[in-house]
Amino acid sequence: MPDRDLVSGVVQLANLLTRRLAPVFERAKITPQQWSVLTVLGDSDGPMTLAGLARKMLVSKQNMTGMIARLEQLALAERSDDPNDLRSSRVVLTRRGRTLVEKLRPAYEEWLAGVTGESEREIATLTRSIDRLIGRLEQPD
């Protein structure tokens, strides 16, 4: 029998990844969670709604509102009203945010390569398993 169940293992892995990844972003004064938001925004084709960003990040809209407020305080993202829906906001990276993502991406990729080591195939298999599990959990009950 394994030492931990699946949920405990995933939570522990998330905590460990966050703790080990933090030094990569420390000098930029951002967290691994903020990095995730910045890269989603940076990889998008244009502005994203808060709701769309929350769905992509698998968090509540309220949680995303707080994350974006902190990124706005750091001048890394900016929010504007959606001209098509006055109840909605659109979010984009600022020039500073885009520059930061471009600057940090090589360090992040180097860190990730160090974690995956020689086992890229194993990581690809694990990533597919995680994607399938996320897909199942996203299904309505």
pLDDT of residue 59: 93
Inside any domain, residue 81: yes
pLDDT of residue 2: 64
Inside any domain, residue 102: yes
pLDDT of residue 105: 93
pLDDT of residue 109: 87
Write out the DSSP string of 45-108. Answer: SS-EEHHHHHHHHTS-HHHHHHHHHHHHHTTSEEEEEETTEEEEEEEEE-HHHHHHHHHHHHHH
pLDDT of residue 130: 87
* Low-confidence residues in the chain, pLDDT < 70: 1-2, 86, 118, 141
What CATH number corresponds to the domain at position 96? 1.10.10.10
State how many domains the chain has.
Answer: 1
pLDDT of residue 7: 85
Inside any domain, residue 66: yes
Instruction: List beta partners, residue 129.
Output: none
**Range of the structural domain that residue 12 is part of:** 6-138
Inside any domain, residue 1: no
pLDDT of residue 106: 94
pLDDT of residue 79: 92
Inside any domain, residue 71: yes
Q: Could you tell me the pTM of the whole model?
A: 0.84
Strands ordered across the beta sheet of 48-49: 48-49, 85-93, 77-82
